[in-house]
Amino acid sequence: MPGTIHPAAALLTLAVAVGGCMARGETPASTVTQAPKTLREKIAALALRQVPFGSVSLLPVRFESSRIAGPFEDGGRTLWCVSSHMKGRTFGKAERPKLVIRADAATLTVIDDDEVCQGHRTEPFPELETLGNAKG
């Protein structure tokens, strides 16, 4: 029909436009992100790269009531504990991912030690919600 656009043609046009941006070294506006600046933003970014925090989820996830405890010393290690309510992958029921992060000289690493987090006071962690909810 004259005057109508076929859906496949519209998708092809969009793919060519985005591909052209990529060929010139530009990025579409939706993929532009800033590097984390503060330590708390770095911790949030590390948490969001972990599978329990939805890093490989095909479904978009949303974070609510995120909390952080730390820094605190445990056996000569400087640690932070991160937790959140993550919604999206289980259709209505929130998952509750938790993570322990250790800081060495200039690196942050994830460790497997959930028990160390018990008994430490937590505070709101809006950096995780801001970074996590912006990526979806």
The residue extents of the domains of the chain are 1-32, 39-135
pLDDT tens-digit readout, 50-100: 999 988 888 889 999 999 998 999 888 999 999 999 998 887 788 999 999
Rounded to whole angstroms, the Cα distance separating 24 from 44 reads: 31
Q: Does residue 6 carry a pLDDT above 90?
A: no
| CB 131, CB 45: distance < 8 Å | yes
Strand order in the sheet with 77-87: 107-111, 98-104, 77-87, 62-74, 123-124
Determine the pLDDT at residue 72: 92
Whole-model pTM: value is 0.70
Q: Does residue 31 carry a pLDDT above 80?
A: no
